[in-house]
Each structure stands twice: as structure tokens, then as C-alpha cells.
């Protein structure tokens, strides 16, 4: 498995793969890999001639005061996991190389990024779409793989690809969970023992919401209240950022649950903000 740090060199490598008529599957990540990431890598390995994974903790998607500085990083461990999963190349650039100064070109998807995480994480999605656009230009993928865990991110990237005529297919794969239901996340490493135990309530409450809809509940406010009550019963759930019932394609809040909706939430457990979601058919 190749480890490439320079954007130019990565572009050269991917260019030669494409010229040889081979397909490229691409998985962008911020590293500190877990089975959620690896599920994307394995799918890419199955479906493409060459799989490229990027590991880059992207500074522009963190706002002031967020966890950019303390975001977990362990390249040696990631490298071993990627080799085992069958990746062909890892792109592991420095910030300086990705954002040569002065840097002045950004990609921003309007609308889809206004609500949910976009409300409290101002500028986050602009950072995400900008880095993913750059990574697509560098790695020239035929297919790129994202997780439903970050549902809003996946939709924003699909919209960017459509609006800017990018020649890449975006595939969104299911959320991989711990045995007790907690969605895998690099940020789970921040959780104290009691927070980790309490955090199981996120998926439990989403499953309960799904059950309620299945039994005929159609009012988003009642569903949101039921989820909130379950979550706030946990001592270490210190703050609910949002609990929303939205249209699964526009991400606009729905007035009544009919058709496919996304129930998404973000909750703080102490100093750690976790997100999760579930797709529900009304
Ligand atoms: P990150 O390293 O957090 O930027 O995530 C890189 C990619 O892995 C994104 O497309 C995420 O949506 C995806 N991902 C993260 N956690 C999970 C999970 N638990 N299950 C599936 N995909 C995930």
C-alpha cells in the first residue's frame, strides 16, 4: 500500500491508474479509523480496481473553539487497518500542502446545509464541500463512499456533485454501530465511562421513535418530545443541540410524518457532541 503525502504526487498516481483504464474508488476520512470507515473501504475494494483512502483532519471544517486540536490522530494504527482492508493507496497530506497560502476558493452548498448541524456548526459544511471537491480533483475517483452516519454531509456532497457536474458517483453506506447500538465515531474516544454508557440512549430513542411511527404516530412534535425525554433521563446528556424530523431529501422539517423522513439528532454528553439518525417510513 502506497502512502502519498504530496497532492501533486497523488494526482500523478491517480492519473496513471485512470490512463491504464482502471477504476478508482475513493474514501475520504479524518483518520482514527473504526469499523464504520473500514466498511466503506471494503466496499470500495470490492467494487473498484484501485481504492484510495484519504486521512486528513481538515481545519476548515472546524470552527473556533471546536476540537480540531485534540481530534484523535493515529496514523500508524490507521495504516495497518487500511492495509488489512485492502486499500491500495493512502493520501495523507499536511494542511500546508492542502491549503497553500493565501487560499481563497471555497465551495458552498446552500439550503441543505442551513439546518441540523449547519445551525450550530457555522461554516462546517463549507469546509467539508471545499475539501471534498479538492480531494475529488486530486484522486479522480469513479465512485466515492460516504457514511449515512453523516447524513447531511452525504446529501450536501451529492448536491455539490450534481450542481458542479463532477464526474463521480457518490455512494452512501449504512451506519455501523457498536454491539450496544452506539454509532461508531472517532469522537466516541472522548467519552468518559458514564457518558459512554449513557450515549446508548441515542439509538434507543431513535428506535423508539421508529416504533411509534410504526404504530401510527404522525406528529413530529410528539416524536421529538418522546426522544428528548428519553435522552434527558440520562445524567450525562448535558445538552440537546437538536432533534429534528425532516424530509429525507430536502432536510426541511416536516409538519406531518408521511413518506420517508429522517429523524436526526445531536446531543452533548459532557464535552462531547454526538450525532445519530434513523430513516423512518410513515
Ligand atoms: P470522518 O473520519 O468522521 O470524517 O468520516 C469519514 C467517513 O466515514 C464519512 O463518510 C462518515 O460518514 C463515515 N462514517 C463515520 N462513522 C461511520 C459509521 N459509524 N458508519 C458508517 N460510516 C461512518
For the Cβ of 78 lying below 6 angstroms from any atom of ligand 1, the answer is: no
For the Cβ of 57 lying below 6 angstroms from any atom of ligand 1, the answer is: no
Which pLDDT does position 157 carry in this prediction? 98
Q: Which of 41, 60, 72, 150 for a ligand 1 pocket mutation test, highest count of atoms within 8 Å of Cβ?
A: 150
For the Cβ of 44 lying below 6 angstroms from any atom of ligand 1, the answer is: no
The beta-strand segments (E) located in the chain are 2-4, 24-29, 50-55, 89-91, 143-147, 169-173, 237-247, 260-269, 272-281
Which pLDDT does position 161 carry in this prediction? 99
**What single-letter DSSP state applies at residue 190?**
G
For the Cβ of 257 lying below 6 angstroms from any atom of ligand 1, the answer is: no
Which residue has a Cα nearest atom 10 of ligand 1? 146
Which pLDDT does position 23 carry in this prediction? 98
37 is catalytic: yes
Q: Which residues, including other chains, have CB under 8 Å from residue 62's CB and lie 6 or more apart?
A: 68, 71, 124, 127
User: How many angstroms separate the alpha carbon of residue 218 from the centre of ligand 1?
Assistant: 30
User: How many angstroms separate the alpha carbon of residue 101 from the centre of ligand 1?
Assistant: 29
Q: Closest Cα to residue 252, out of 152, 174, 154? A: 152
Which pLDDT does position 55 carry in this prediction? 98
Report which ligand 1 atom has the smallest distance to the Cα of 149.
Answer: 12
Report which ligand 1 atom has the smallest distance to the Cα of 184.
Answer: 19
Strands 89-91 and 50-55: parallel
Which pLDDT does position 271 carry in this prediction? 97
Which pLDDT does position 112 carry in this prediction? 98
Which pLDDT does position 22 carry in this prediction? 98
Which pLDDT does position 119 carry in this prediction? 97
User: How many angstroms separate the alpha carbon of residue 184 from the centre of ligand 1?
Assistant: 8
Query: Which residue of the set 26, 37, 149, 152 is catalytic?
Result: 37
For the Cβ of 29 lying below 6 angstroms from any atom of ligand 1, the answer is: yes
For the Cβ of 175 lying below 6 angstroms from any atom of ligand 1, the answer is: yes
Q: Closest Cα to residue 127, out of 97, 101, 160? A: 160
Which pLDDT does position 36 carry in this prediction? 98
**End-to-end Cα distance, the chain:** 46
Which residue positions in the chain have pLDDT lower than 70? none
Is the distance from CB of 131 to CB of 60 less than 8 angstroms?
Answer: yes
Which residue has a Cα nearest atom 18 of ligand 1? 36
Which grid coordinates belong to 212?
Answer: 411509534
User: How many angstroms separate the alpha carbon of residue 93 from the centre of ligand 1?
Assistant: 19
Which residue has a Cα nearest atom 17 of ligand 1? 36
Amino acid at each position: 500500500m502506497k502512502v502519498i503525502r504530496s497532492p501533486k504526487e497523488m494526482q500523478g498516481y491517480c492519473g496513471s491508474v485512470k490512463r491504464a483504464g482502471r477504476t478508482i474508488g475513493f474514501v475520504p476520512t479524518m483518520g482514527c479509523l473504526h469499523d464504520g470507515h473500514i466498511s466503506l473501504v471494503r466496499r470500495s475494494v470490492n467494487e473498484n480496481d484501485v481504492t484510495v483512502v484519504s486521512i486528513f483532519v481538515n481545519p476548515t471544517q472546524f470552527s473556533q473553539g471546536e476540537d480540531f486540536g485534540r481530534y484523535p490522530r493515529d496514523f500508524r494504527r490507521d495504516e495497518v487497518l487500511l492495509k488489512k482492508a485492502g486499500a491500495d493507496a493512502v493520501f495523507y497530506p499536511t494542511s500546508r500542502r492542502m491549503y497553500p497560502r493565501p487560499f481563497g476558493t471555497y465551495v458552498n452548498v446552500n439550503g441543505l446545509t442551513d439546518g441540523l448541524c449547519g445551525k450550530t456548526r457555522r461554516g462546517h459544511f463549507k469546509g467539508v464541500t471545499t475539501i471534498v471537491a479538492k480531494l475529488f480533483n486530486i484522486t479522480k475517483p469513479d465512485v466515492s463512499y460516504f457514511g449515512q452516519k453523516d447524513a447531511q454531509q452525504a446529501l450536501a456532497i451529492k448536491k455539490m456533485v450534481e450542481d458542479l457536474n463532477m464526474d463521480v458517483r457518490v455512494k452512501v453506506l449504512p451506519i455501523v454501530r457498536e454491539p450496544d447500538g452506539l454509532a461508531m465515531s472517532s469522537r466516541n474516544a472522548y467519552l468518559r465511562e458514564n457518558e459512554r454508557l449513557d450515549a446508548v440512549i441515542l439509538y434507543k430513542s431513535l428506535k423508539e421513535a421508529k416504533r411509534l411511527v410504526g404504530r401510527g404516530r404522525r406528529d413530529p412534535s410528539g416524536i421529538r418530545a418522546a426522544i428528548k425525554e428519553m435522552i434527558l433521563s440520562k445524567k450525562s446528556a448535558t445538552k440537546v443541540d437538536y432533534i429534528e424530523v425532516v424530509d429525507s431529501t430536502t432536510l426541511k422539517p416536516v409538519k406531518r410524518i408521511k413518506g420517508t423522513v429522517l429523524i436526526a439528532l445531536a446531543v452533548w454528553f459532557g464535552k462531547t457532541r454526538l450525532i445519530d439518525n434513523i430513516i423512518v417510513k410513515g
